[in-house]
Amino acid sequence: MNPRTRLFGEVAFEEGFVTTAQLYEALQKQARLEAEGLPHRFIGEILVDLGHLDEPQVLKILNLLHGDRQRRVREG
């Protein structure tokens, strides 16, 4: 069984680290950069650049997203 893939921004919002407006701002910036032909930037990077997240929050989100997967690999 494959659970639905959760997105970084979704978890950041669920954890109360960002508001919907802040997430929307970051998504707009991400889309604008890609439309300009610039390399893809992760939403977490953009949220940090905008001052909406700090690095410990990013690490917590990544752990929430990938921590279970890492444990299953080690235990498997």
Domain ranges of the chain: 8-75
pTM over 0.75: yes
- Express each pLDDT in 10-60 by its tens digit: 999 999 999 999 999 999 999 999 999 999 999 999 999 999 999 999 999
Q: 5 with 40: CB under 8 angstroms?
A: no
pLDDT value of position 9: 97
**Rg of the Cα atoms in the chain:** 14
How many whole angstroms separate alpha carbon 11 and alpha carbon 9? 5
Residue with tokens 């707009």: 28
Burial class (CB in 10 A: 0-12, 13-18, 19+), 13: middle
